[in-house]
Amino acid sequence: MGNAMGDEEKYLAVPENTPYLDTARYSMFKEDHKNIIRVLRDKIDTKIPLHLVDVGCANGELLYHLHREFPHWRMDGIDFTEDYILTARNFRGLLGVNFQVASLFDVNGKWDVVLSTGVVEIFSDPTDVLRKLVSLTRAGGLMIADGRFNEVDMDVRLQFRDRSPPSRSQEWRTDWNLHAQRTVLEAIEKQVRSVTFQDVEMNIDIPRDPAKPAAHTWTFRDEAGRALQTNGAWILKNKQLVIVEC
């Protein structure tokens, strides 16, 4: 797992380039989070008290909405950026959620539901991270991760250097890698009951803000009227969820 861990370490938290230290973020209900909650309601009996973990939880935005939707569940949040976890621990809306500073590959345990958003796509090869997430999921449980998964049999690796924030503008970072669905299936399909992919529908328009770093996302509409996400890298592929029944 050496290469995968190296990719994780390249994903730096740059204060001028991250929204996850701003508590105003908790009032936002992101479209991908809405999609995840719909999948949970569709796939499992949400009335049952379950144990959930969000791996790579950042400041706990998703956990905040999950905690409100399913207050009878036990919830854990794990991220390797200490400032993000500190923000989550200090937010009253997340009281009762347990937070831990740790790398994905140092996490041990079993959960009924394992979630991971914004993580798989920072790895140039998703194999190790997907297998690790599956290993944290109890038999009969559910793992959901998001990413940009290519229907065509082509993997695309991306590194970028965002020159717009004043600090660390010389550092190359990794994110938004496009992994072939075939690569995902080859990594985990023999270990689980089922693997499906589902588009994350963007039902809102996000304007471009010239004051924000180029790494931030905005949307535009295609000829069919669908909102497509892009940023300074001009990536046009919207997110998908990979839904794994273990």
- Looking at the chain, the whole-number percentage of residues with pLDDT higher than 70 is 91
Average pLDDT over residues 161-181: 82
Average pLDDT over residues 203-222: 89
Q: Residue 110: what residue type?
A: K
Tell which wins on pLDDT, 215 or 51: 51
pLDDT, residue 12, reads: 58
pLDDT, residue 3, reads: 46
Residue 168 has pLDDT above 70, yes or no: no
Residue 16 has pLDDT above 70, yes or no: no
pLDDT, residue 215, reads: 85
pLDDT, residue 21, reads: 83
CATH for 2-245 (3.30.200.20, 3.40.50.300, 3.40.50.150, 3.20.20.20): 3.40.50.150
Radius of gyration over every alpha carbon of the chain, rounded to an integer in angstroms = 17
- Looking at the chain, the whole-number percentage of residues with pLDDT higher than 90 is 67
* One-character DSSP codes across the chain: -HHHHHHHHH----GGG-STT-GGGGG---HHHHHHHHHHHHHS-TTS--EEEEET-TTTHHHHHHHHH-TTSEEEEEES-HHHHHHHHT-GGGTT-EEEE--GGG----EEEEEE-SSGGGSSS-HHHHHHHHHTEEEEEEEEEEEEEESSS--B--EE---SSSSSTT--EE---EEEHHHHHHHHGGGSSEEEEEE----S-----TTS-TTS-EEEE-TT--EEEE-TT---PPPEEEEEE-
* Per-domain boundaries in the chain: 2-245
Mean pLDDT of the chain: 90
Residue 236 has pLDDT above 70, yes or no: yes
pLDDT by residue (tens digit) across 185-200? 999 999 999 999 999 9
Average pLDDT over residues 122-142: 97
pLDDT by residue (tens digit) across 25-41? 898 898 889 999 999 99
pLDDT by residue (tens digit) across 68-114? 999 999 999 999 999 999 999 999 999 999 999 999 999 999 999 99
Q: What is the pTM of this model?
A: 0.91
